[in-house]
Amino acid sequence: MTPSAAPARPLIDRFGRRISYLRISVTDRCDFRCVYCMAEEMTFLPKKEILSFEEIEAIADAFIARGTTKIRLTGGEPLVRRDIMELVRRLGRHLGHGLDELTLTTNGSQLARHAGALHEAGIRRVNVSLDTLDTERFGAITRRGRLAPVLEGIAAAQAAGLAVKINMVAMRGINEDEIEPMMAWAHGRSMGLTLIEGMPLGEVGIDRVDRYLPLRELHDRLARRYTLTRLDQRTGGPARYVHVAETGGTLGFITPMSHNFCESCNRVRLTATGQLFLCLGQDDQVNLRDAWREGGAAALDAALDHAMAIKPKGHDFVLDRAHAQPALARHMSVTGG
């Protein structure tokens, strides 16, 4: 399909939303154990259950043929998967042939050694998850990560020509005092910053109710100190952006708890085992791995039709003392956020 050609049968769900964005989790494994994402001791999927690169590309092909224009690679940590650049190069060949953008979300730990190859394969921007600039606090939040390699990875990405956006999960009593310094640091280095509310996915061993920081509250707090101008800028995901006059940079807010964004949802998530989750906050899913292995392209196409028929209207996250348990058993690392 050429860039100008419209798909014969676009992916449109029963609520009239067009699905143009596919997030692919290439592994559930990660070299960190961030407190809001994973338990300290995790049991990962057997490698034999993970989709091969050929299978991932076949599924991506099916989505692109039906009008998906953006693919984001996630994990776990995508750059810990063996030979990951082979997959990036495979998918990169679709750029300009139906696919408008291929991008990546990473914790940055492996970014320094891959940054140049990512750019060569066609990736032009990456999101780096970074919740603190304090070395000791970084170790506590990630449970085992080191800050220095992440900062080196960010520098290498920018040197390679990649635009970098920082993703920061805002946590009351843990890193809320660093939000303004992080904004100044990121904007001073020509990087955007997006703040994210913690979501009740999987048992992770922290009190999410105590740590929950509504971003509406934070927005109002920042608006008393900074000149925030709402932007129409969209990057394909759920973030809403403002321009910060005092820093000259862009600040994003992802608010799945205090203000959901389901009415404009344009995305679905493929796990490393080929399960297509149709909503981050629901368990509705379609097994694309079995469809491909048992029936090839025709069965895969039919499975996508079924997915559109069952995609839910939205999530219904609730987080308070009466609903302190995880909304879903699966961890964030399964679907890549």
**Does 248 belong to an annotated binding site?**
no
DSSP bridge pairs for 270: 24, 276
Q: Are 303 and 287 in contact (CB under 8 A)?
A: yes
Antiparallel, parallel or unpaired: β 125-129 and 101-106: parallel
pLDDT of residue 236: 63
Q: Which residues contact 131 (CB under 8 A, 6 or more apart)?
A: 34, 138, 141, 168, 169, 171, 174, 175
Distance CA 265, CA 314 (A): 8
Distance CA 168, CA 72 (A): 18
What is the C-alpha radius of gyration for the chain, rounded to an integer number of angstroms? 19
**Does 190 belong to an annotated binding site?**
no
**Does 37 belong to an annotated binding site?**
yes
Question: Whole-prediction pTM value?
Answer: 0.88
Distance CA 126, CA 106 (A): 7
Antiparallel, parallel or unpaired: β 249-254 and 240-244: antiparallel
**Does 199 belong to an annotated binding site?**
yes
pLDDT of residue 211: 76
Tell me how many degrees the CA angle 203-314-35 measures, rounded to the nearest 5.
20
**Does 109 belong to an annotated binding site?**
no
Distance CA 114, CA 101 (A): 18
Q: Which residues contact 263 (CB under 8 A, 6 or more apart)?
A: 314
- Both tokens assigned to 195: 């703040």
**Does 224 belong to an annotated binding site?**
no
Domains of the chain: 21-335 (3.20.20.70)
pLDDT of residue 313: 83
Distance CA 169, CA 230 (A): 21
**Does 171 belong to an annotated binding site?**
no
Query: What is the residue-level pLDDT of the chain in tens, covering all 337 positions?
Result: 444 466 779 999 999 999 999 999 999 999 999 888 887 888 888 888 999 999 999 999 999 999 999 999 999 999 999 999 999 999 999 999 999 999 999 999 999 999 999 999 999 999 999 999 999 999 999 999 999 999 999 999 999 999 999 999 999 899 999 999 999 999 999 999 999 987 654 444 555 566 788 888 899 999 999 999 999 877 666 789 999 999 999 999 988 654 556 777 899 999 999 999 998 777 789 999 999 999 999 999 999 999 999 998 875 544 443 444 444 444 555 666 5
**Does 129 belong to an annotated binding site?**
yes
Nearest to 282 by CA among 73, 13, 85, 79: 13
**Does 165 belong to an annotated binding site?**
yes
**Does 25 belong to an annotated binding site?**
no
**Does 265 belong to an annotated binding site?**
yes
Cα end-to-end span (Å), the chain? 29
Bond into 76 cis (ω within 30): yes
What is the secondary structure of 292-325 as a DSSP string?
HHHHHHHHHHHHHHHHHHH--S------SGGG-S
**Does 271 belong to an annotated binding site?**
no
Distance CA 58, CA 293 (A): 11
Enclosing H/E stretch for 242: strand 240-244
Residues in the chain, how many?
A: 337
Kindly give the interhelix angle for 53-65 and 84-92, rounded to the nearest 10 degrees. 20
**Does 68 belong to an annotated binding site?**
no
pLDDT digits (tens, 9 = 90+) for 177-189: 999 999 999 999 9
Q: Are 107 and 128 in contact (CB under 8 A)?
A: yes
**Does 72 belong to an annotated binding site?**
yes
Identity at 15, one-letter amino acid code:
F
**Does 34 belong to an annotated binding site?**
yes
